[in-house]
Chains A and B, each alone.
Chain A
Amino acid sequence: MPKITFIEYDGTVHTVDAEVGATVMETALKGGVTSIVAECGGSCTCSTCHVYVDEKWRDKIPPASAEEENQLDSAFDVRSNSRLSCQIKVTEELDGFTVHTPTYQGR
């Protein structure tokens, strides 16, 4: 089972067992990562599951779709490694995948 690491803006680290096929957002909620809100439940319509993908992992996941890029417009402090965690699917290859959470999800 791949493990995903969430480093919250305040330094709290969560390493969560992830189900292959689940999203990184779902993994975060399961692991009690409170700085990921996921207001819309994973419909790519709210941008409150915004994360920064760790530099080491940026090239290991498929790029954001146009829909995800559009929704990132409603996030804050968007950077070149910004993604919506509900749009990243967990695979076996993502064991050790690491993301950082922003200070503010818009609420």
Chain B
Amino acid sequence: MTETIKTDALIVGAGPVGLFAVFELGLLDIKAHLVDILDKVGGQCAELYPEKPIYDIPGIPYITGQGLTDALMEQVKPFKPTFHLGEMVTSLEKVGEPLFRVTTDRGKTFEAKVIVIAAGGGSFQPKRPPIQGIEPYEGKSVFYAVRQMEAFRGKRLLIVGGGDSALDWTLNLQPVAKRITLIHRRDDFRAAPDSVNKMRALVTSGGMDLSIGQVTALEGEGGQLAAAQVKDNAGAVTRIECDAMLPFFGLTMKLGPVANWGLDLQSELVPVDTAKFETNVPGIFAVGDINTYPGKLKLILSGFHEVALMSQQAHRYVFPDKKLVFQYTTSSTSLQKKLGVA
């Protein structure tokens, strides 16, 4: 049994709004831990459009997704948030008034006085190929991530995709597997050129196979893959025998476990009030793209406003006996001390 991590606030999602929540909570002395399924902070800003421009952050005429993420990380530094990246919150249970027990898919347990759901479009999860009858194989012989390379020792592997994940795992698993076949829809790869060159050298030396086409059907029994059918661009189908398949088609957003936390939902969004941004469960807040209310706009700037108001109510739960005095960072010595500038 691992130790329970105790915190004032647990923020689910480390995108721009989750990060700014650290700041607004921090000004009110509320300490936060953040959990995000991605292996980096920034959410959609970092995953979907790190290089793309954002033009509607007040006071910042132009900034990229990664630029905004970096700036927010700088801004929240004084509050020393703790990040738990590459982890998904799986369960959330109310154990006090309010107090919540939260567990992640990596086996961590948290106890938090308030929960802030800043999960955007939900959790980023691997895209599943639309191959009929793939479900029984998933987790048994079809995997969307590699947790342990040893699991593939001596196996005949199909790796599908043309990006860095597909190429990196091809190169890493090539010495371990009995045989690797990389399947991609075209003979062009967007992965790092160095990896592509290494892969092509292995194909030339006979160390692996490359097949250009798309997987259309699977054969096997009881979740154990025996072969895959691959259709090439001329429509010809070949059958490739295999023990396991690793498809890498990037990520998509799914609401995920949030649906099971006892919250009211409206078409995959969490309804909140517009004074406190609190859900139907007192002590659980929802901010940013994942919430809904009359007039809601999915803008980063709306999320920033929401966390400021949310923090006021969170303060009542975390410090029920303390009176909250409204202050400005420009003039308040006490806030400036927290920011490390006074």
Contact = CB atoms under 8 A, between A and B. Distances in A.
A107 B48 contact: no
A47 B233 contact: no
A77 B250 contact: no
Contact of B52 (A43, A74, A75): A43
Interface string B159-182: 001110000000000000000000
A69 B187 CA distance: 12
B136 interface: no
Contacts of B162: 70, 73
A80 B301 CA distance: 40
Nearest to B216: A77
Contact of A77 (B48, B49, B130): B130
B30 to A, nearest CB: 32
Contacts of A47: 250
B49 A107 contact: no
Nearest to B250: A74
B68 to A, nearest CB: 14
Nearest to A102: B130
Contact of A39 (B52, B128, B253): B253
Contact of A103 (B121, B130, B188, B252): B130
A45 B253 CA distance: 13
B142 to A, nearest CB: 15
Contact of A46 (B188, B190, B252, B254): B252
A69 B128 CA distance: 20
A69 B188 contact: yes
A13 interface: no
B163 A74 contact: yes
B33 interface: no
Interface string A74-97: 111110100000000000000000
Contacts, number: 59
Contact of A76 (B48, B129, B184, B253): B129
A64 B253 CA distance: 25
Interface string B111-142: 00000000001000001111000000000000
Contact of A40 (B48, B184, B249): B48
Given A40-B49, A43-B49, A69-B188, A74 B249 contact: yes
B49 A76 contact: no
Contacts of B190: 70, 73
B249 A45 contact: no
A55 B128 CA distance: 28
B185 interface: yes
B161 A73 contact: yes
A74 B127 contact: yes
Given A39-B48, A40-B49, A80-B233, 17 more contacts: A39-B252, A43-B52, A45-B49, A46-B48, A46-B250, A47-B250, A70-B162, A73-B161, A73-B184, A73-B185, A73-B190, A74-B250, A77-B214, A78-B214, A106-B127, A106-B250, A107-B127
Q: Which 9 A-B pairs have the closest CB atoms?
A: A70-B190, A74-B250, A104-B130, A106-B127, A107-B252, A43-B49, A40-B48, A73-B162, A45-B48
9 contacts: A45-B49, A45-B52, A72-B185, A73-B186, A74-B250, A104-B130, A106-B127, A106-B128, A107-B252
